[in-house]
Amino acid sequence: GENVEQHPSTLSVQEGDSAVIKCTYSDSASNYFPWYKQELGKGPQLIIDIRSNVGEKKDQRIAVTLNKTAKHFSLHITETQPEDSAVYFCAAPISSGSAMQLTFGSGTQLTVLP
Amino acid sequence: DAGVIQSPRHEVTEMGQEVTLRCKPISGHDYLFWYRQTMMRGLELLIYFNNNVPIDDSGMPEDRFSAKMPNASFSTLKIQPSEPRDSAVYFCASSLANGVGYTFGSGTRLTVV
């Protein structure tokens, strides 16, 4: 099955700086890579995703890059703001029949310091 | 749409008692997933359903755990008897095929004392 490793486990940045979180995956057949943001007391919320036919995707201050050869993908947050503070999870699909089962990374606690 | 709805938000129960967690998926979603989240183990997939049928329950920790989906708009996760090590946040998620619209509920925080 899929193994997803996520680094770092904690990350502190100054407001306005950039934050980068990296994940590696093991299954070369994986073709969908979502990122989730989990705020305290809430469920994970999808913030951006990328499919394997593109190398980069941007949505305002958030971007995700994918390197299929190296089997890693990264989340980039620019001009960080205090409300970006949360736990971020990457995920990759487990190879199976028709369902999109996701294996999650261990999470990164991002703290944006004012 | 109101999203994935879980109840209760918090549950505190004594060891040995039966606990039932409830989930209402997003209307039209074919897949429903139950996850458990702990500090030690992160997010773990317990079981998932496709069109109300359980497909993979290999993540269910032991026989004390059971899940049902009697119809397209309702699922339950039951723990009987509950133990302190079951304390965690349990999430339900639903999606269309190929992961489209994969959405989590707000979770149920279970504390077994």
B35-80 pLDDT, tens digit each: 999 988 888 999 999 999 999 898 998 899 999 999 999 999 999 9
SS3 A22: strand
Task: Look at residues B69, B111, B58 and name the one whose alpha carbon lies nearest to residue B94.
Answer: B69
Residues of A with CB under 8 A from a CB of B: 32, 34, 36, 41-46, 89, 93, 96-107
The Cα–Cα gap between A42 and A48 comes to 17
B49 in contact with A, Cβ within 8 Å: no
Tell me what pLDDT residue B1 has: 65
> Among A22-26, A31-35, B12-16, B19-23, where is mean pLDDT lowest?
A31-35
Contact list, A100 vs chain B (CB under 8 Å):
31, 95, 97-99, 102
Tell me what pLDDT residue A67 has: 93
Does B2 score more than 90 pLDDT? no
Tell me what pLDDT residue B32 has: 95
Where does the pLDDT of residue B108 fall: very low under 50, low under 70, confident under 90, or very high at 90 and above? very high
Ramachandran sector of residue A90 (left: φ over 0; alpha: ψ -120 to 50; beta: rest): beta
CB atoms within 10 A of CB B63: 7
Report whether A31 contacts A73 (CB < 8 A). Answer: no
Report whether B44 contacts B34 (CB < 8 A). Answer: no
- Close Cβ partners of B101 (under 8 Å, ≥ 6 residues apart): B26, B29, B94, B95
Strand (E) or helix (H) holding B52: none
Residue type for position A52 = S
Cβ distance of A43 and B105 shorter than 8 Å? yes
* Nearest beta carbon to residue A107 from set B42, B45, B50: B42
SS3 A61: coil
Residue type for position A80 = T
Mean pLDDT in runs of 10 for chain A (114 residues)?
90 98 91 93 92 89 95 97 97 68 91 96
The Cα–Cα gap between A74 and A68 comes to 12
- With a pLDDT cut of 90, the percent of chain B lying above it is 80
The Cα–Cα gap between A107 and A93 comes to 16
Ramachandran sector of residue B107 (left: φ over 0; alpha: ψ -120 to 50; beta: rest): left
- A92 alpha carbon, distance to own chain's centre: 10
